[in-house]
Amino acid sequence: MSIKASVGLSQGDDSHAVGANAAQEALERLGVPKADILFVFSSSQYDQEKMLAGIRSVTMDTLLVGCSTAGEITTEGPVPRASVAIMAVKADGVSFFAGVGELIGEGAHQAGAALADSITKQAQGATLGACIMLSDVITGNGADVVKGAISGLGDLVPIVGGAAGDDFEFRQTFQYLNDKVYSGAVVGVALSGAFKMGTGVRHGWIPIGLPKRVTRSEGSVLHELDGRPAISLYEEYFGPEQAAELKQETLARLAIMYPLGMRVKGSDEFLIRDPIFANATGSITCAAEIPEGSDIRLMIGSREEALRVAREAAANALAQLAGATPKAVIIFSSVARSKLFGERNGEEINVVQEIVGQDIPLVGFYTYGEHAPLGKEVCIGEHCNSVFHNETIVVVILGE
């Protein structure tokens, strides 16, 4: 068993050249002619087809999965401007099975199930140890995508990953599988064979104010809290004028520092839900569902608490390797965390590296949502309780 990983990064104005240069650097650092898989994370500012074509001009038919982001992350930390970041992995004794589920807007659960079906057909009965999934949440319910994937993969397979971004515009995200760019889709890759994986999942957001009962909701649309329009929660804290602005602009841009949190069984933290849009009637569309009858709280972030839990997430992931040697780190961190830290966002990545090792190849991106098991452990009992998160950092370590 042998796992090698390397990271390439490129910036510039020529989309094709940026993709090709990032791929070339990743392969040169890997030190072998061909990788087994490439993880590609790119700014949406690039022409996505040209960027991907640039990568393929170097890597040819190597398996490739990836997505557009709200900011790229490498071993050197968060990248301050538009870039393409690529992790190349060579893993002897590990098999990779990749697929796609399209048209999330027409059926999020069906898209997740289609991804799982594609993977299981390729695996032909092989035991799957994990699935890394990258999805869109602009067009559909992120929680339903995860549920759809679980319906096909089973709840013994931990699902980790993140929701694609578009540089904080909240208009359109992109997903990549091999030679093709998708939008409104979910892509993923399942791993089977000789590897170890550890996952740490924490957010650190703090509840403020009194709980509100969800009295009417439909999937990811939150209509009423305590019988009043959902936007009233923000009116109470920020005043009617600010709430009126929330209806006129993308709610996600203004309320990202004040998400919603709900208690769920199996976790000692609130499960976070990001508000994305508010409409004229006062309803709020979130990145994923909030069931009727839930008690929710307004949440607020603090840099100190965010750093503390990032360190804890890394330590949890490392502990799950059970003595295996870390070979690669993939981080899925909410764009809200990047906004919370501002110019100090490198501090979060630094505390992860202090735990895992400064020299372990690392790649990741700032997300519009995260996929991961619920709670501190990867699996509760024999079953993996994978769900959709917001405002969270997910640290994934591959080891041998």
CA 303 → CA 6, 162, 332, 346, 370, distances in Å? 30, 21, 17, 12, 19
**137 and 274 co-located in one domain:** no
Select from 298, 323, 353 the last residue of a domain: 298
In this prediction the pTM is: 0.93
**pLDDT, mean of residues 347-355:** 98
Cβ-count burial 43-72 (b if 16+ within 10 Å, e if not): bbbbebeebbbbbbebbeebbbbbbbbbbb
Select from 238, 264, 298 the last residue of a domain: 298
For the segment 356-393, what is each residue's pLDDT rounded down to a tens digit? 999 999 999 999 999 999 754 444 444 567 899 999 99
pLDDT at residue 287, rounded to an integer: 83
d(CA 232, CA 240): 9
Given a cut of 90, is residue 337 above it in pLDDT?
Answer: yes
68-77, 104-113, 235-244: range with lowest mean pLDDT: 235-244
End-to-end CA distance of the chain: 7
H/E run at residue 295: strand 295-300
65-69, 81-85, 255-259, 305-309: range with lowest mean pLDDT: 255-259
**236 and 96 co-located in one domain:** no
pLDDT at residue 1, rounded to an integer: 58
C-alpha angle 196/198/203, rounded to 5°? 165
**345 and 212 co-located in one domain:** no
Sequence-ordered alpha helix ranges (H) in the chain:
15-30, 48-59, 108-123, 142-153, 232-248, 251-255, 303-320, 335-341, 346-356
Q: Which domain holds residue 229?
A: 206-298
Number of domains in the chain: 2
129 contacts 156 by C-beta, under 8 angstroms:
no
**195 and 245 co-located in one domain:** no
**116 and 173 co-located in one domain:** yes
What's the whole-number average pLDDT of the chain?
Answer: 92
pLDDT at residue 245, rounded to an integer: 65
SS3 label, residue 69: strand
For the segment 76-131, what is each residue's pLDDT rounded down to a tens digit? 999 999 999 999 999 999 999 999 999 999 999 999 999 999 999 999 999 999 99
130-139, 158-167, 287-296, 310-319: range with lowest mean pLDDT: 287-296
**291 and 386 co-located in one domain:** no
Look up residue 155 and give its DSSP letter.
Answer: T
Given a cut of 70, is residue 249 above it in pLDDT?
Answer: no
Percent of the chain with pLDDT over 90: 80
pLDDT at residue 22, rounded to an integer: 98
Q: 């370590």: which residue's tokens? A: 397
d(CA 274, CA 70): 15
Quickly list DSSP for 251-282: HHHHHTTS-EEE--TT-SSPEEE-EEEE-TTS
pLDDT at residue 377, rounded to an integer: 46
**285 and 352 co-located in one domain:** no
Given a cut of 70, is residue 27 above it in pLDDT?
Answer: yes
**C-alpha closest to that of 397 among 319, 338, 343:** 319
pLDDT at residue 252, rounded to an integer: 65
Look up residue 309 and give its DSSP letter.
Answer: H
**19 and 124 co-located in one domain:** yes
Select from 252, 282, 298 the last residue of a domain: 298
For the segment 254-283, what is each residue's pLDDT rounded down to a tens digit? 667 889 999 887 777 899 998 888 888 889
**171 and 93 co-located in one domain:** yes
**210 and 341 co-located in one domain:** no
Given a cut of 70, is residue 200 above it in pLDDT?
Answer: yes
**pLDDT, mean of residues 6-33:** 97
**272 and 350 co-located in one domain:** no
**293 and 320 co-located in one domain:** no
Residues 6+ apart with CB under 8 A from 188: 65, 98, 99, 100, 115, 119, 131, 132, 133, 134, 149, 159, 161
